């Protein structure tokens, strides 16, 4: 069990736009083992959703996806024919999307859509599929599963629909689940329930989970590993403990400063914020993309930035070796 | 669903009555029916006699009430020209028009929907451009002129199809194409726009994430949703088409209700014209009613409130 | 300082917007084609007396059915030949453009006035007004246009004025539908509420807040209905129940040429192509205007 279930090396995603190429994801690496949760953190436009869609092979033909290595259970996803990719999707790896309100087809019942996920990959009867669907709906905490199966998406609340999406991703007992901001569109109270559910299911079924989010609070709760993305790059990665105990990249520190900590943050004290905006990624990008917003930036930041190790798996990309002063 | 259907039905009935009142008053206030029947050489005595016989001297509202009462029972009066019951006259001709209408809408759907889908799958491709050209040209094509050109080419030059009449199925080919082409552009544009929107929908991505193949995604998940507005548009177009059949039938001398309408207007045969306007309106109202019900049935958001 | 910088940034936005609009117009081939063809037809209609050597009404039975210039036996003084009564076909075509444009323009104005009034009222006031207008639209849509128009023209007698009036009173439905939904969309927006809050009268709000913001849609529907009216007039005249002879209407020319189309197909192709091109140009112009003014609604 030492081989990682997902091993990605130097993944890039280029988007042709008028006036050049948008380098949306610029050479990222990550590994994930069975039973682990990887949280990909970053603000919108940092390329974290594109990364997850690239792994699933769900990006349009217009987008160019390249990688030195993109292995799932030892098989290379990059060179895999469309048909085999299709067979993997929904079976060995499944995905949960951000918008539960629009991610279910309005024309079919919950039951039909759940069954489809199973029957695309397994030769089972409709009744068997329905039984499994009902079983899983119960597992994701939906009561009266039998009657829910006959309902249409518009009859369910957002939280329920996201539970349905989770159940749908579990239909074939996948080895990997990618959840792209699964709680962003939901109420705060529901968010916590959905996250706990995901974490529990992952443990119970011994799956790997990639959770894409911009919410560090979420990360702190369930991550084993964290990858912080900024402008298409992973600027810092490591175990959750390493990242939270010793954030080494100025951007990670900035992110952590944005969260109020009960007891530490005094009432009335302004919360941290990172000034500036994400730079344009059209055309050639060189140096540290964060330098325009970083208060530690020096001239050398415009040239190549080294990847440094902070011990163990903990890595970050910054010109500075030791950041002693706090980032404001 | 039942409440919706009943409400919709009530509206349809109300619209029907209003249309009948408007068309009755327009036709009766605008001309002098007695002169129309008697002909130009009639004496005043003749006209007085006709007025008395047909009851044109009675109050207008009374005439309308009587006509409506009879019409509801299927009696549209006597044709001034044929001296036959209008209902019989129309019933004879209606089957030709209905055949033409069904053929034309089928032709329009069978060409417009696949073209629209193909155009949406590959926007800005060659097929998209061809589809756009066909639809833009169709919207600008005067159907009577298109019909004449078809006659010149296919009947006169190549002698492939009969130019006029309604005896065999071959007589229906050109009218079907001309009338169908009239309805095609709108259906194609709506299919294309709907597919473009639906193909970008989150649930289509969900279907792909499940591992559904391209065909399944396209037909089961995308087209199923994009087709809903197309169904209602087709019903509306069918209604318009029956009304528009008057032009096509007169070009190809297809002896349907539209041809009868054209002849009757020329002969100032008011009861026939009146009945035809009402019947064509009823068809339109019926088709839109059916389309609304079909829509409600196809879209669970309306069906299961 | 602040006002100066605000002004600069505002003018930058304005400039870039007009540049953007110009770029969209010149990048839109359909729109350009439509403008060009419509320009040619309008010029032909306006300068018809200068362009045509003959009157469109003068008959010359000795010179009947002269073929157009590209065929053998053509007469150089009749570029597009003559019809079955020996009238110059080019002259009839040029004067026919006047009829089509006049019908299209005036019909669109009349129906635009009716439809916009109804649609704006329904959209702005909502409630019972909206119900009534929606009902009227339903009734209007249920009436078969060609049949009703033919019947009324037949009863009143065909003339240019009658045809224009009848079409004007029949074709307002699309204006009403589009105006109703456009006004509904902006009725609840902040600036309309603001105008209401500072006590503007309803007519003032309608004229200075609502109308300028739905004018785009109005112009687009106007062009499409112009094309619709031109086609309908041609169809009515073709069926013999529109504009009456000897008026040079394109529909009528096709109808008159129909008898001879076996031997002289150009009698129907020439006015037919003219009609097709004019309607195509107006439609492309309308579609183009919609794309250019509301690119996000392109479909």
For residue B32, name the pLDDT band (cuts at 50, 70, 90): low
% residues pLDDT > 90 (chain A): 29
Q: What is the pLDDT of residue C114?
A: 96
Q: What is the pLDDT of residue C178?
A: 92
Q: How far is C281 from chain B (nearest CA, A)?
A: 9
pLDDT confidence of C296, banded at 50, 70, 90? very low
Chain A positions in Cβ-Cβ contact with residue B123 (cut-off 8 Å): none
Which residue in B208, B209, B301 is closest to A106 by CB distance?
B301
Asked if C144 and B280 touch (Cβ cutoff 8 Å), the reply is: yes
Of B203, B211, B299, the CB nearest to A87: B211
- In this structure, which CATH number among 3.30.70.580, 3.40.50.300, 2.40.37.10, 2.60.120.560 belongs to the domain A6-92+174-317? 3.40.50.300
What is the structure's pLDDT at B37? Answer: 64
- Say if residue C12's pLDDT is above 70: no
pTM of the model: 0.84
CA distance C50 to chain B (A): 29
Domain chopping of chain B, boundaries = 2-54, 87-304
CA-based nearest residue in chain C for residue B137? C280
Average pLDDT in chain C: 84
Q: Find, among B123, B282, B98, B119, the residue nearest to B187 by Cα.
A: B119
Q: How far is C43 from chain B (nearest CA, A)?
A: 21
Q: Which of A8-22, A253-267, B290-304, C196-210 has the lowest mean pLDDT?
A: A253-267
More confident residue, C264 or B194: B194
Record: contact C280-B265, CB cut-off 8 A: no
The whole-number pLDDT of residue C169 equals 92
Task: Give me the pLDDT at residue A1, please.
Answer: 47
Indicate the pLDDT class of residue C10, thresholds 50, 70 and 90: very low
pLDDT at B105 over 90: yes
pLDDT value at position B36? 63
Which residue among A56, A104, A107 places its CB closest to the CB of B209? A56
User: How far apart are the C-alpha atoms of B262 and B211, rounded to whole Å?
Assistant: 58
Structure tokens at C256: 């008159």
In B, which residues are within 8 Å of C299 by CB distance? 189, 192-193, 196-197
Q: What pLDDT score was predicted for residue A181?
A: 87
Is B200 in the C-facing interface, judged by CB distances under 8 Å? no
Pairwise CA distance, residues B123 & B192, whole Å: 9
Residue B189, pLDDT score: 92
Query: Which of the four pLDDT bands, split at 50, 70 and 90, describes residue B194?
Result: very high
Chains in contact with C via at least 3 Cβ–Cβ pairs below 8 Å: B
Q: What is the arithmetic mean of pLDDT over C125-154?
A: 90
Mean pLDDT of chain A: 85
| C141 and B CB contact within 8 Å | yes
Percentage of chain A modeled with pLDDT above 70: 93
- pLDDT of res. B142: 92
Interface of B with C in 135-194 (CB under 8 A): 136-137, 139-145, 148-149, 151-152, 156, 189, 192-193
| Spatial CB neighbours of C296, under 8 Å, sequence gap ≥ 6 | none
Chain A CB contacts of B213 under 8 Å are 86
Smallest Cβ distance to B209: which of A87, A90, A99? A90
- Looking at residues B73-98, what average pLDDT do you find? 87
Interface mutation vs chain C, best among B36, B148, B186, most C CBs within 10 Å: B148
Residue A270: what pLDDT?
A: 65
Per-residue pLDDT tens digits for A185-198: 778 888 888 888 88
Chain B residues touching residue A112 (CB < 8 angstroms)? none
Is pLDDT above 90 for C105? yes
- pLDDT at site C7: 38
User: Do A319 and A305 form a contact (C-beta atoms < 8 A)?
Assistant: yes
CA angle B51, B57, B62 (to 5 degrees): 125
Chain B: give the shortest CA distance to residue C290, in Å. Answer: 15
Residue B84 has pLDDT above 50, yes or no: yes
Q: Which of residues 269-288 of C touch B (CB under 8 A)?
A: 269, 272, 275-277, 279-280, 283-284, 287
Domains within chain C, CATH numbers bracketed: 41-60+82-293 (1.10.3720.10)
Task: CATH 3.40.50.300 in chain A: give the residue spans.
Answer: 6-92+174-317
* Three-class DSSP category at B85: strand
pLDDT at C210: 84
pLDDT in tens, A131-160: 999 999 988 888 888 899 999 999 998 889
Task: Determine, for residues C146 and B193 on separate chains, whether the beta-carbon distance falls below 8 Å.
Answer: no
At B153, give phi and psi (nearest 5°): -75, -55
| pLDDT surpasses 70 at B305 | no
On the question of pLDDT at C159 being above 80, the answer is yes
Kindly determine whether residue B209 and residue A89, on different chains, have CB atoms separated by under 8 Å. yes
Determine the average pLDDT of the residues in A80-96: 90
Cross-chain residue pair B201–A102, CB shorter than 8 Å? yes
**Averaged pLDDT, A272-295:** 77
pLDDT of residue B28: 77
**Res C257 pLDDT > 50:** yes
pLDDT digits (tens, 9 = 90+) for C231-249: 999 999 999 888 888 888 8
pLDDT at C13 over 50: no
State how far the Cα of C169 lies from the Cα of C163, in Å rounded to an integer.
Answer: 10
Could you write out the three-class secondary structure of chain A? CCCCCEEEEEEEEEEEECCEEEEEEEEEEEEECCCCEEEEECCCCCCHHHHHHHHHCCCCCCCEEECCEEEECCEECCCCCHHHHHHHECCCEEEECCCCCCCCCCCCCHHHHHHHHHHCCCCCCHHHHHHHHHHHHHHCCCCCHHHHHCCCHHHCCHHHHHHHHHHHHHCCCCCEEEEECCCCCCCHHHHHHHHHHHHHHHHHHCCEEEEEECCHHHHHHHCCEEEEEECCEEEEEEEHHHHHHCCCCHHHHHHHHCCCCCCCCCCCCCCCCCCCCCCCCECCCCCCCCHHHCCCCCHHHHCCCCEEECCCCCEEECCCCCCCCCCC
Write out pLDDT tens, residues A203-254: 888 899 999 988 888 888 888 999 999 888 888 888 888 888 888 888 888 8
Look at B301 and A154 and tell me if their CB atoms are within 8 Å. yes
Instruction: Report the CATH fold assignment for B87-304.
Output: MetI-like fold (1.10.3720)
Tokens representing A3 are 């081989």
Q: How many CB atoms lie within 10 A of CB C196?
A: 13
Instruction: Judge whether A149 and A110 are in contact, CB under 8 Å.
Output: yes
Least confident of A261-275, B243-257, C10-24, C53-67: C10-24
> Where does the pLDDT of residue B31 fall: very low under 50, low under 70, confident under 90, or very high at 90 and above?
low
């Amino acid at each position: 069990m030492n081989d990682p279930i997902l091993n990605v090396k130097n993944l890039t995603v280029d988007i042709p736009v008028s006036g050049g190429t948008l380098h949306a994801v610029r050479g990222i690496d990550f590994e994930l083992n069975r039973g682990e949760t990887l949280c990909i953190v970053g603000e919108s436009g940092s390329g974290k959703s594109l990364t997850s869609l690239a792994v699933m092979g769900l990006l349009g033909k217009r987008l160019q996806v390249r990688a030195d290595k993109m292995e799932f259970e030892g098989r290379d996803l990059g060179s895999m024919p469309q048909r085999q990719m299709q067979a993997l999707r929904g079976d060995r790896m499944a995905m949960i999307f951000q918008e539960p309100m629009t991610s279910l087809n309005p024309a079919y019942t919950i039951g039909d859509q759940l069954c489809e996920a199973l029957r695309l990959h397994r030769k089972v009867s409709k009744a068997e599929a329905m039984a499994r669907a009902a079983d899983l709906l119960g597992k994701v905490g939906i009561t009266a599963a039998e009657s829910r199966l006959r309902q249409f998406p518009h009859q369910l609340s957002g939280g329920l629909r996201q539970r349905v999406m989770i159940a749908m991703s579990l239909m074939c007992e996948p080895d990997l689940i990618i959840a792209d901001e699964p709680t962003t569109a939901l109420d705060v109270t529901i968010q916590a329930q959905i996250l706990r559910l995901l974490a529990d299911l992952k443990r119970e079924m011994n799956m790997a989970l990639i959770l894409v989010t911009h919410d560090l609070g979420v990360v702190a709760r369930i991550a084993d590993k964290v990858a912080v993305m900024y402008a298409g790059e992973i600027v810092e990665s490591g175990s959750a403990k390493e990242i939270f105990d010793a954030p080494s990249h100025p951007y990670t520190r900035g992110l952590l400063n944005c969260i109020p900590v009960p007891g530490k943050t005094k009432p009335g004290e302004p919360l941290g914020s990172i000034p500036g905006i994400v730079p344009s990624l059209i055309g050639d990008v060189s140096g540290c993309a964060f330098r325009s917003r970083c208060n530690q930036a020096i001239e050398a930041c415009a040239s190549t930035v080294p990847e440094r190790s902070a011990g163990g798996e903990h890595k970050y990309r910054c010109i500075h070796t030791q950041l002693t002063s706090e980032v404001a | 669903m039942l409440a919706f259907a009943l409400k919709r039905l009530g509206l349809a009935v109300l619209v029907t009555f209003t249309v009948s009142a408007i068309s009755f008053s327009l036709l009766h206030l605008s001309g002098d029916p007695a002169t129309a029947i008697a002909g130009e050489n009639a004496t005043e005595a003749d006209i007085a006699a006709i007025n008395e016989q047909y009851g044109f001297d009675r109050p207008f509202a009374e005439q309308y009430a009587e006509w409506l009462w009879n019409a509801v029972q299927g009696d549209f009066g006597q044709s001034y020209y044929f001296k036959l019951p209008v209902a019989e006259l129309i019933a004879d001709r209606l089957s030709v028009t209905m055949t033409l209408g069904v053929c034309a809408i089928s032709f329009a759907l069978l060409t417009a929907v696949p073209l629209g889908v193909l155009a949406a799958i590959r926007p800005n491709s060659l097929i998209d451009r061809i589809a756009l050209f066909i639809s833009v040209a169709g919207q600008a094509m005067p159907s009577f002129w298109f019909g004449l050109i078809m006659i010149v080419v296919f009947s006169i030059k190549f002698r492939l199809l009969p130019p006029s009449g309604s005896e065999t199925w071959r007589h229906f080919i050109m009218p079907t194409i001309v009338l169908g082409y009239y309805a095609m552009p709108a259906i194609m544009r709506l299919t294309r726009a709907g597919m473009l929107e639906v193909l970008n929908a989150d649930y289509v991505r969900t279907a792909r994430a499940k591992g559904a193949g391209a065909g399944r995604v396209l037909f089961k998940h995308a087209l199923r949703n994009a087709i809903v507005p197309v169904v209602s548009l087709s019903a509306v177009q069918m209604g318009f088409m029956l009304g528009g059949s008057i032009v096509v039938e007169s070009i190809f001398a297809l002896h349907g209700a539209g041809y009868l309408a054209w002849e009757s207007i020329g002969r100032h045969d008011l009861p026939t014209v009146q009945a035809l306007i009402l019947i064509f309106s009823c068809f339109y109202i019926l088709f839109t009613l059916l389309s609304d019900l079909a829509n409600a049935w196809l879209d669970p958001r309306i069906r299961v409130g | 300082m602040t006002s100066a910088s605000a002004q600069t940034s505002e003018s930058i936005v304005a400039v870039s917007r007009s540049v953007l609009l110009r770029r969209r117009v010149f990048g839109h081939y359909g729109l350009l084609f439509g403008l060009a063809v419509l320009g040619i037809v309008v010029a032909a209609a306006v300068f018809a007396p200068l362009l045509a050597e003959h009157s469109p009404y003068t008959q010359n039975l000795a010179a009947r059915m002269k073929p157009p210039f590209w065929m053998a036996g053509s007469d150089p003084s009749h570029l597009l030949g003559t019809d079955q009564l020996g009238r110059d076909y080019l002259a009839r075509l040029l004067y026919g453009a006047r009829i089509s444009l006049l019908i299209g323009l005036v019909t669109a104005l009349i129906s635009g006035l009716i439809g916009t009034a109804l649609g704006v009222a329904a959209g702005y006031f909502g409630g019972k007004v909206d119900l009534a207008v929606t009902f009227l639209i339903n009734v209007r849509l249920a009436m078969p246009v060609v049949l009703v128009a033919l019947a009324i023209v037949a009863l009143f007698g065909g003339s240019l004025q009658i045809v224009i009036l009848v079409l004007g009173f029949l074709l307002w439905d699309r204006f009403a539908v589009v105006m109703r939904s456009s006004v509904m969309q902006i009725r609840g927006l902040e600036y309309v509420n603001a105008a209401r809050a500072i006590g503007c009268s309803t007519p003032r709000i309608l004229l200075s807040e609502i109308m300028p913001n739905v004018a785009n849609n109005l112009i687009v529907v106007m062009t499409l209905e112009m094309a619709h009216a031109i086609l309908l007039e041609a169809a009515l005249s073709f069926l013999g129940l529109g504009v009456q002879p000897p008026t040079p209407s394109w529909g009528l020319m096709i109808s008159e040429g129909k008898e001879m189309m076996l031997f002289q197909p150009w009698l129907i192709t020439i006015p037919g192509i003219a009609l097709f091109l004019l309607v195509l140009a107006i439609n492309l112009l309308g579609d183009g205007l919609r794309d250019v003014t509301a690119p996000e609604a392109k479909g």
